[in-house]
Amino acid sequence: MDRSAGRCAVIFFIAVALGVLLRCAYQMWPESVLMLLAPRNDSVWELSKIALWPGIAAALLGHLGCRDKGSLCAYLMVPAAMPVALLFIYWFLHLVCGIANGLTDTAIWVCLLALGDAMALSIRKTAFAKQALFMVCMILFVWIFAYTLFSLRTIDLPIFTQMTPQAVMAVIDW
């Protein structure tokens, strides 16, 4: 295994470990700053948080001491894009299909993370990855702002509320 594939594996496992750790830590200390970082309930919005914070931390930790901006940018593209993918998939599963299962949600997150890291591994040497770091950082700042804002001040929309069978039926009937 070459160094770049090894780095990809390290970044993947760091992100998974941090995501699980955040979720468990929030269960132990719910009234802490972890409410900004970890999913607080099983709403579509809160579940998609798991893609942002662990992904950013894993990309940065995986590139400590590395000066390859293209590789860092490629791995930061994963947490920049994954919330969109997770919001769409979770919305479809929870609100349209009525499937709200923690095991399914976790499996989807891990599979998307693996797919994203594999894509980052393949595009890390492209010209786009070397030039897009500023744009990717701006997208991440927008996500950070949105997640922080809506963690502090939630709105009564289906995307922000925990999905129960009754809530799913209400959305379907709407």
Residue 160 pLDDT = 63
**What is the reported pLDDT for 159?**
60
Q: Among 3-12, 35-44, 77-86, 159-168, which is the least confidently predicted range?
A: 159-168
Please name the residues in contact with 173: beta carbons below 8 A apart, sequence gap of 6 or more: none
Which residues form the domain of 113?
3-173
pLDDT at 138: 96
List the single range of 20-34, 69-83, 86-100, 151-165 with lowest mean pLDDT: 151-165
Give the CA distances from residue 23 to residues 10, 18, 53, 100, 123, in Å, rounded to whole numbers and listed in that order: 20, 9, 11, 17, 30
> Residue 22 and residue 39: Cα distance in Å, rounded?
8
To the question of pTM greater than 0.85 for the whole model, the response is no
Question: What's the confidence (pLDDT) of residue 1?
Answer: 47
pLDDT tens digits, residue range 51-71? 889 999 998 888 877 777 888
52 with 81: CB under 8 angstroms? no
Q: What is the pLDDT of residues 139-172, one digit of tens each?
A: 999 999 988 888 887 676 666 666 555 555 555 5
Look up tokens 């479809």; give the residue. 92
How many structural domains compose the chain? Answer: 1
Dist. CA 39–CA 18, nearest whole Å: 13
